[in-house]
Amino acid sequence: MLTEMVRIRRFEQRCVELYSATKIRGFMHLYIGEEAVATGALTPLTPEDAVVSTYREHGHALARGMPMAALMAEMFGKVTGCSRGRGGSMHLFDASRKFYGGNAIVGGGLPLAVGLALADSMRGRQAVTMCLFGDGAAAEGEFHETMNLAALWQLPVLFCCENNYYAMGTALERSHAETDLALRASSYGVRSWAVDGMDVQAVARATARAADMARTGSGPCFLEFRTYRFRAHSLYDPERYRDRAEVDRWKERDPIESLTRRMRDSGELSDEDLEKLEFGVESEIDRAVAEADSDEEEPVDDLERFVYADGK
């Protein structure tokens, strides 16, 4: 799990450099600070389970097993990308790994997740659908609709709310009368609890418990992962809505540093181990960037492919 969190952090840090060099264009929303959620939450899932994500999904895609080269190629807009270069940062997709977006609409993945879980339930599959979304989605109408349907039909959905306390630039308490989101979810009859989203081991334990419950017919679960993004909402965000001291306080709970410290204290990690880990991750990123940079652009003649159905 430490390796996975470092992969996510270093991948995004490299993406910032590439964005500044105009190798990557368009919108980009960084996951830095929230790595414990993606890593811990996706660890207990099986290949048969489905994952529905948000536009801040680089970490989710990597933790789900998407090859870094395919992800980086997508960031570059190359045809070898996971979405043929047509989705970019906000629309990562890999049907072979049951990773169904990358959804740019806030809350847009919620009804999709309920549909996938309904299909699994109707076909008798022992699978769960994980739906990851931010606290801002809890203010959307489809949040209430899908929570109600999932509870009513006892669907195997894991609702995983990454509560980083800001919906774009709006603080949680400025938009929600009830800021305990797990409590709100429980009003629908869904088993719900809050989890320390800065502790990857706590996230993994909570998700494993919830997945077991959903998989064995106990219905949906709602996990409120209380976490924090260290960077602005997006690279276009001047970030004038929160105090720098607040960000610094949360950085003291950096999930990577916390786990590294615990592993060192327990004798599970040496300086040499950490150096090898970092070298391996850096080498993987270098290869992914080199491949993406040399990959072909999609031919202009293909511009209209996959846009409209041809009626056949």
Structure tokens at 75: 């960031």
The answer on pLDDT for 258 being more than 60 is yes
The answer on pLDDT for 87 being more than 70 is yes
pLDDT digits (tens, 9 = 90+) for 223-252: 999 999 999 999 888 899 999 999 999 999
Architecture of domain 2-232+252-293: 3-Layer(aba) Sandwich (3.40)
CA distance 36 to 39: 5
pLDDT of the residue at 312: 54
Cα 172–178–236 angle (5° rounding)? 15
What are the residue ranges spanned by the domains of the chain? Answer: 2-232+252-293
Q: Do residues 132 and 109 make contact, with C-beta atoms less than 8 angstroms apart? A: yes
- Does this model's pTM top 0.85? yes
pLDDT of the residue at 236: 86
pLDDT digits (tens, 9 = 90+) for 43-70: 999 999 999 999 999 999 999 999 999 9
pLDDT of the residue at 163: 97
CB atoms within 10 A of CB 42: 25
Band (pLDDT 50/70/90 cuts) for residue 304 is confident
The answer on pLDDT for 93 being more than 70 is yes
pLDDT digits (tens, 9 = 90+) for 119-146: 999 999 999 999 999 999 999 999 999 9
Strands in 129-134's sheet, in edge-to-edge order, are: 50-52, 129-134, 157-163, 221-226, 191-196
Structure tokens at 200: 């990857």
CA distance 27 to 224: 26
